[in-house]
Structure 1
Amino acid sequence: MKVQDKMSWRPQYRSSKFRNVYGKVANREHCYDGVPITRNVHDNHFCAVNPRFLAIVTESAGGGAFLVIPLEQTGRIEPHYPKVCGHQGNVLDIKWNPFVDNIIASCSEDTSVRIWEIPEGGLKRNLTEAVLELYGHSRRVGLIEWHPTANNILFSAGYDYKILIWNLDIGDPVKMIDCHSDVILCMSFNTDGSLIATTCKDKKLRVVEPRSGRVLQEASCKNHKVNRVVFLGDMKRILTTGVSRWNTRQIALWDQEDLSMPVIEEEIDGLSGLLFPFYDVDTHMLYLAGKGDGNIRYYEISTEKPYFYYLMEFRSPAPQKGLGIMPKQGLDVSACEVFRFYKLVTLKGVIEPISMIVPRRAETYQEDIYPMTPGKEPALSADEWLTGINRDPVLMSLKEGYRKSSKAVFKAPVKQKRAVVVNGIDLLENVPPRTENELLRMFFRQQDEIRRLKDELAQKDIKLRQLELELKNLRNNPKNN
């Protein structure tokens, strides 16, 4: 391992506006208390947040559910608070539409992906009907990601080792990525969404062109078992978290056009929990949060050696199960807040907001720490992206109108029951019943068929007995024959 690999955990003293960034936990009255956070051990965040709502996967009898809480509704959550509860299996991932604040996607062990529309002001009663139910995976669905620039394009990764690309304008999968030999652990888009990086249980890192499904780069490193991956904006670099051959937690930096070996590997510590990476394109800051511990380390990323500049570490005795990330439009720019986590503390049933703040006294808008950032407008339609067009995100200033609503809308298509064929394969051929109603209809149809067969069998049994009696009479009275 290179010398700088071992040394970069020490502070790199250089001129940086983010050198003194610190983490600040919200006061107790600004936390969310009494939340029955799921105890599922799936390695996801179980949390999604946007400027209007906080969504948390929860426990529910008879199926999967999640809570959606208006962001300003802090404090104690009532035990019977309404839930989104239409899945027949545990919910494994939830993600807000980046362009429409009240549209959220969920995926589940029941093999489905569902799209939900949250009413203005939040839920007043349980929401059981999704605006779209998407079926195509033959096993449970563990990951979902919205396309960063194209409207109504959603990616889902299942335990059938496939990634399906959904065009929600028509409600069907339109592409399938079938290059993985095991469960997909993580997906990350580059800036314009023309490439996707994946990590997989087969220990390989891949860079894939999603519309063709073609694998552009593939790597497997003996010294670094990959787990999570994130594109580093326009740097043409990819960062992965994982473990070394000695089971120490690591991060590795890769050239996205040459994955033959990492540019640099960096050991973090000897703890066992998964390392979640979060990258802020605007500040070039990388946050590393350990699952099962309370630490969040943060670095500045550079295109030049030593690449990682250690800044600080936020510490907390309460272990985190997952972390939601507030989009830039929801940050408090008046407080010089550059990042905000929503930390899930399972044992306490608490969601804690943690603000990363640049310490400045100036009361005016700090333009140098808030460059133009991806906004709420999609850069292109689903059809445009599917035909091969790429566009960078539509940028906006956080100084002017960062509370403005988006012009993007979501309109659920009217779906007809039909075969779903992608790459010549009917994806619905081996899919379980789609909804509870369909399951009940199938059950009753089978009950009717069983009843019909029983009646038919009983009639044949009666007929058989009559024939046996006639035969017996003939044998007993041969003269009558």
Structure 2
Amino acid sequence: MSWRSSFRCSKFRHVFGKPSNKEHSYDGVPITRGVHDNHYCSANPCFIAVVTECEGGGAFLVLPLHHTGRVDPQHPRVCGHRGRVLDVKWNPFNDHCIASCSEDGTVKIWDVPVCGVQQNLTTARKTLIGHSRRVGLIEWHPIAENLLLSSAYDYKVLLWDVSQAGSVLRCPVRVVLSPVHHRYPSDALLLSVSFNSDGSRLAVTSKDRRVRVLDPRTGKILQVSRSNSHRASKVLFIGGLKMLLSTGSSIWNHRQIVLWDPCETQTHTLPPNSMLH
């Protein structure tokens, strides 16, 4: 693979963004510093949720999209976790339902009132208990309503049916990324997950910096990236193109964007400062 193109001049070299006015932005939000590379915010057509700094547990703000400008430091929050919140995701089938996961090892499902959070929300509709260590990632199934995927530091990926009366575990899946290890090495820790458009495939990245495509029903690994020149950290299925997009770095720590064709073994590498057509 040639790296000569990575030194070509960017068409965006002298393009700079301009921040919006304060009245059209959310000002004064105490954004958390504890989510590392996870998602600290999530938005839908009605609300935006932002994980915030909180002492003695975990909390996040839920603001109506039109609630711009200065945010009151004492604004009511969703604060039912005993540990820091690490990820939040809105239900794609219900704009008033949001899931959160935390260092306390639980996943909680919350019902947000139509008028928004007017007072501290401490009681979740459902608490999902199945992980033994902190839960770092959650993702809703794109077409199957009430199915939620969670990934934790116990190296387990669980698929929950949150529509049932109790905490029903629909499909437990242990993702073994390295069949050589009898125990689950630290390389098996997932950094990113993404469903394809119909939910039949799940793409993941882990600490070994490879991209894997799995069958979410069984946990079977269908494809593994073989590129040693790209260390992936995040992955996303691009529905319209039926391809995978990953971000990461090269062996020389150059930032990279890579397009993967799941139907082929080849990868399409986009060097830094290049355009996507």
TM-score above 0.5? yes
Paired position in structure 1 for 2:235: 229
* Equivalent of residue 77 in structure 1, options 55, 71, 88: 71
Q: Does 1:101 align with 2:112?
A: no
In the alignment, the residues of structure 2 paired with residue 142 and residue 3 of structure 1 have an alpha-carbon distance, to the nearest angstrom, of 35
Deviations 1:92-118 (A, max 9, x none): 000011111110000000000000001
Q: Does 1:257 align with 2:263?
A: yes
1:3 Cα offset (Å): 7.2
1:236 Cα offset (Å): 3.3
* Equivalent of residue 272 in structure 2, options 228, 250, 268: 268
Paired position in structure 2 for 1:187: 193
Paired position in structure 2 for 1:202: 208
Q: TM-score, normalised by structure 2?
A: 0.88
Deviations 1:158-215 (A, max 9, x none): 1111111011112322112322352101011111111111000022211011012111
Paired position in structure 2 for 1:177: 173
In the alignment, the residues of structure 2 paired with residue 96 and residue 200 of structure 1 have an alpha-carbon distance, to the nearest angstrom, of 24
* Equivalent of residue 146 in structure 2, options 152, 157, 162: 152
Q: TM-score, normalised by structure 1?
A: 0.52
Q: Does 1:164 align with 2:158?
A: yes
In the alignment, the residues of structure 2 paired with residue 11 and residue 42 of structure 1 have an alpha-carbon distance, to the nearest angstrom, of 31
**Aligned 1:371-386 pairs, distance under 5 A:** none
Q: Does 1:123 align with 2:123?
A: no
8 Å contact 1:5–1:266 — kept in the other structure? no
Deviations 1:321-367 (A, max 9, x none): xxxxxxxxxxxxxxxxxxxxxxxxxxxxxxxxxxxxxxxxxxxxxxx
Q: Rg: which structure is higher?
A: 1
Could you say if the C-alpha distance between residues 8 and 130 of structure 1 is closer, same or farther in structure 2, counting changes exceeding 3 Å? farther
Paired position in structure 1 for 2:180: none
In the alignment, the residues of structure 2 paired with residue 62 and residue 258 of structure 1 have an alpha-carbon distance, to the nearest angstrom, of 49
Could you say if the C-alpha distance between residues 245 and 99 of structure 1 is closer, same or farther in structure 2, counting changes exceeding 3 Å? same
1:220 Cα offset (Å): 4.0
In the alignment, the residues of structure 2 paired with residue 49 and residue 65 of structure 1 have an alpha-carbon distance, to the nearest angstrom, of 16
CA RMSD of aligned residues (A): 2.3
Structure ranking higher on relative contact order (CA contacts 8 Å, 6+ apart): 1
* Equivalent of residue 55 in structure 1, options 49, 52, 72: 49
Paired position in structure 2 for 1:33: 27
* Equivalent of residue 66 in structure 1, options 60, 63, 82: 60
Question: 1:178 is aligned with what amino acid?
Answer: R
In the alignment, the residues of structure 1 paired with residue 10 and residue 83 of structure 2 have an alpha-carbon distance, to the nearest angstrom, of 45
In the alignment, the residues of structure 2 paired with residue 4 and residue 68 of structure 1 have an alpha-carbon distance, to the nearest angstrom, of 46
Q: More strand per residue: 1 or 2?
A: 2
1:227 Cα offset (Å): 0.7
Paired position in structure 1 for 2:250: 244
In the alignment, the residues of structure 2 paired with residue 172 and residue 59 of structure 1 have an alpha-carbon distance, to the nearest angstrom, of 31
* Equivalent of residue 42 in structure 1, options 15, 36, 40: 36
8 Å contact 1:112–1:137 — kept in the other structure? yes
Q: Which structure 1 residue ranges, 5 or more long, are not aligned?
A: 13-21, 270-296, 300-307, 310-481
In the alignment, the residues of structure 1 paired with residue 240 and residue 7 of structure 2 have an alpha-carbon distance, to the nearest angstrom, of 26
1:222 Cα offset (Å): 1.6
8 Å contact 2:109–2:124 — kept in the other structure? yes
**Aligned 1:429-468 pairs, distance under 5 A:** none
Question: 2:161 is aligned with what amino acid?
Answer: N
**Aligned 1:294-333 pairs, distance under 5 A:** 299=275, 308-309=276-277
Paired position in structure 2 for 1:456: none
In the alignment, the residues of structure 2 paired with residue 80 and residue 48 of structure 1 have an alpha-carbon distance, to the nearest angstrom, of 21
1:2 Cα offset (Å): 4.0
SS of alignment partner, residue 268 of structure 1: coil
1:61 Cα offset (Å): 1.6
Q: Which structure 2 residue ranges, 5 or more long, are not aligned?
A: 178-184
SS of alignment partner, residue 271 of structure 2: strand
In the alignment, the residues of structure 1 paired with residue 3 and residue 56 of structure 2 have an alpha-carbon distance, to the nearest angstrom, of 54
SS of alignment partner, residue 235 of structure 1: coil
8 Å contact 1:217–1:257 — kept in the other structure? no
SS of alignment partner, residue 29 of structure 1: helix
8 Å contact 2:35–2:87 — kept in the other structure? no
SS of alignment partner, residue 174 of structure 1: strand
Paired position in structure 1 for 2:130: 136
